[in-house]
Chains A and B, each alone.
Chain A
Amino acid sequence: MFFKPGIIALFLSSFLISGMVLYASFSGALILRYWDIHSGSETQLRLERKTYLISTILGYAFVFQLFSFFLFIYTADTLHPFFTGAMCAVGSLNVNQWGFPLIMLKIITFLLAGLWLIINFTDNRGYDYPLIKAKYLLLLAMAPLILTEAVIQAKYFLGLNPEVITSCCGSLFTADTKGVPAEIISLPRPVMEIMFYGAMIGTLTLGGVFYRTGTMGYAFAAAVLLTLLVSIASFISFISIYFYELPTHHCPFCILQKEYGYIGYCLYLLLLVGGLAGMGAGLLMPFRQIPSLKETLPSMQRHLTLTSIISYLLFTGIATYQIIFSNLKM
């Protein structure tokens, strides 16, 4: 099982990324300790040169992290024919107890990696590296998560046993069992619909307000995060069935397969990008008053907000289109 090329590639990349993050963390710790922008000493000059290296390393590391997230999902999907009972990635992930925690961790590190890249980009716009401490503190917080993810990924792949009979998404994502997915599916449809469209409209409105006036930034970011969760829940609850054209098929992973035109990647990408951009805009709020960023920060936040709004709008558009034009009429 281990020798599938996709799995080898994922092991290699998580090994490389962990190495890069560890190295960057050690150097980052040094920077946190000795950094003094007003000094002209050789130590400071060396640290400034070092920070270019660390930014470059982490830039690459986090971009690879984003790629490997999608490679992982695709690989999990290709593994499903090997397990009895598995019809999609859900089956592969369910084979041992590490699968689902792993994918949760991967989503979290994906978002954190994106946020770090946003802060790094902003820091470079200020002439006195205003966010350098915040940046490296965040890095030190993320490092253990990334290392844990690498370890859990290893445990997951090494623990894949083809003898295990796993469950299909049909039995997991149904109202009859226990668990979070079941709770979501058992909620009455009109309630979910109102929650989804309400959350979307609210978020988009707040986004518009923030874009124009620069106020309600925190509210917008919070709304973005909330809507991300609501959208995933809504997908499981009622959007999915219109893509599958089957009132009992709620699985969030089957949509990643070929027969649905890989539309799942598009939808999830829109949600993740929208969520990331919106949260990024909110994350930058506390730094608006810093003198070196005063001029450039608001326009950055506007760009991020616009990206977020457009992504969420596209997601809603595609979902609504499918609901209206699907062969399934409820």
Chain B
Amino acid sequence: MIKAIDKQRYILDFTLSSLWRRKGKNLALVLVYTLVVFILGSVMFFTQALKNEAAVVLRGSPEIIVQKIVAGRHDLIPVSYGSRIGKIRGVNAVKARFWGYYYDPVAKANYTLMVPEDLPLKDQEIVVGAGISRVRRVFRGNSIVFRTYDGKPATFFLKGILSPESELLSSDLILISAPGFASLFGIPPDRATDLTVQVANKKEIPTIAAKIVDALPDTRAITREEILRTYDAVFDWRGGIMIAILAGAVLAFLIFAWDKAAGLSAEEKREIGILKAIGWETADVLQMKFWEGLVISLSSFFLGIILAYFHIFYASATLFEPVLKGWSVLYPHFNLTPFISGYQIAILFFITVIPYTVATIIPSWRAATIDPDAVMRT
């Protein structure tokens, strides 16, 4: 047993010195390998971090949201529906929610307006998200003019700006008072945007949702679980598409790796021939190639992961910004909560190290089966 360990140590020692003797070629390989792990890792970390953020946020969201549907589209809901829902057994509370979208031609951006539950605002007071503040260049105490539903100008005063930590969600958000909301959008007094339902027992949610739709056939009841699942699915789908697109890059990397492994220089061939001639057998040379692959794979793998981690969690995924920004004018500055799991590392391992290893098996074997006889005849 000790003999086996000593033998591996010797072979590893020789492998390291031989990798170093060809450092140009090997550093190039490590660079490309690290880049591949970095990109794939960044995509995975980013997707997972966004999913986690969504989950955290949705924890505070209502168990059921009830919306009125007219001709397949979301319409304003009568507040009176609330009392009908409140009568269903298991429902703790029903609240009316007021929110909507406002298109600002000045910034050519869409804002989300919402009447907050716990924040008392005077009629003309608003609180805006950091993105809006940046785009319209307005700060606390400034005023901002919007056009109401009937074309008249309405002036609002900024009570404050939402904290930068919440930017991911609140960048384009405006908190407004109920009268302000009504005057801006002209909503009839007996209507709300939707109703939120608080349920006592989590397990009852699907049942109660079904009862609501039964009692009020022109509504739909969206449960929190459904939202979570949809977000999860969307993030996965987007992340997965990116990985699938990157498959092309991974394939190019594998061809590169094969080429590097197969392209033994004359000096390398000579060295292996000498090893075979002085008493190393094919299995020993294969062992050396195995260590070579392992050293290169592990260094690139861990370097790539560390760089991806820093990229996503400390540099806010700057490299993805152009892709993610899309139409958005109000791109948030955000810092994602760092999250890394063994499962992600395992998956990254499967899609990088394993294909690399497979690509280098045949070249390694060709190298290991070099005939020592040829060395005798030089």
B236 touches A3 (CB 8 A): yes
> What is the chain A residue whose CB lies nearest that of B285?
A52
- Interface of chain A, helix or strand or loop or mixed? helix
In the complex, what residues of A have CB within 8 A of residue B347's CB? 5-6, 9, 71
Contact residues of B between 345 and 378, Cβ < 8 Å to A: 346-347, 350-351, 354-355, 357-358, 361-362, 364-365, 368-369
Interface string of A1-38 (1 = CB under 8 A from B): 11111101110110010001000000000000000000
- Interface of chain B, helix or strand or loop or mixed? helix
**Cβ 8 A contact of A60, one of B206, B236, B357:** B357
In the complex, what residues of B have CB within 8 A of residue A56's CB? 286, 361, 364-365
In the complex, what residues of B have CB within 8 A of residue A74's CB? 343, 346
B365 touches A52 (CB 8 A): yes
In the complex, what residues of B have CB within 8 A of residue A162's CB? 229, 233
B343 touches A3 (CB 8 A): no
B361 touches A57 (CB 8 A): yes
Interface string of B248-286 (1 = CB under 8 A from A): 000000000000000000000000000000000011001
* Complexed CA–CA distance, A68 and B47 (Å): 22
Q: A4-B236, A8-B243 are in contact. Are A52 and B351 (CB under 8 A)?
A: no
A82 touches B346 (CB 8 A): no
* Complexed CA–CA distance, A71 and B282 (Å): 33
- Tell whether A214 is near chain B: CB-to-CB under 8 Å: no
Interface string of B171-194 (1 = CB under 8 A from A): 000000000000000000000000
A12 touches B350 (CB 8 A): yes
- Tell whether B232 is near chain A: CB-to-CB under 8 Å: yes
> Chain A's nearest CB lies how many Å from the CB of B231?
12
A52 touches B232 (CB 8 A): no
> What is the chain A residue whose CB lies nearest that of B351?
A9
Q: Chain A: how many interface residues by the 8 Å CB criterion?
A: 30
* Complexed CA–CA distance, A84 and B228 (Å): 13
- Tell whether B213 is near chain A: CB-to-CB under 8 Å: no
B350 touches A68 (CB 8 A): yes
* Complexed CA–CA distance, A11 and B30 (Å): 26
Contact residues of B between 305 and 333, Cβ < 8 Å to A: none
A60 touches B361 (CB 8 A): yes
In the complex, what residues of A have CB within 8 A of residue B350's CB? 9-10, 12-13, 67-68, 71
* Complexed CA–CA distance, A20 and B361 (Å): 10
* Complexed CA–CA distance, A247 and B355 (Å): 46
A3 touches B282 (CB 8 A): no
A12 touches B351 (CB 8 A): yes
B358 touches A8 (CB 8 A): no
B365 touches A53 (CB 8 A): yes
A3 touches B355 (CB 8 A): no
Q: A3-B237, A12-B350, A13-B350 are in contact. Are A49 and B243 (CB under 8 A)?
A: no
Which of B244, B286, B344, B361 is packed against the most chain A CB atoms within 10 Å? B361
> What is the chain B residue whose CB lies nearest that of A77?
B343
- Tell whether A321 is near chain B: CB-to-CB under 8 Å: no
* Complexed CA–CA distance, A6 and B346 (Å): 9
> What is the chain A residue whose CB lies nearest that of B238?
A3
- Tell whether B82 is near chain A: CB-to-CB under 8 Å: no
> Chain A's nearest CB lies how many Å from the CB of B233?
7
Q: B-side interface residues toward A, CB under 8 Å?
A: 44, 47, 206, 228-229, 232-233, 236-237, 239-241, 243-244, 282-283, 286, 343-344, 346-347, 350-351, 354-355, 357-358, 361-362, 364-365, 368-369
Known: A5-B243, A53-B361, A82-B233. 7 other contacts (CB 8 A): A4-B240, A13-B350, A52-B365, A53-B369, A78-B343, A82-B232, A162-B229
Q: A-side interface residues toward B, CB under 8 Å?
A: 1-6, 8-10, 12-13, 16, 20, 49, 52-53, 56-57, 60, 64, 67-68, 71, 74, 78, 81-82, 84, 124, 162
Residue contacts A-B, CB under 8 angstroms, 26 given: A1-B233, A2-B240, A4-B236, A5-B239, A5-B240, A5-B344, A5-B351, A8-B240, A8-B351, A9-B350, A12-B350, A12-B355, A13-B350, A49-B369, A52-B283, A56-B286, A56-B364, A56-B365, A60-B357, A60-B358, A64-B354, A68-B350, A74-B343, A74-B346, A82-B233, A84-B206
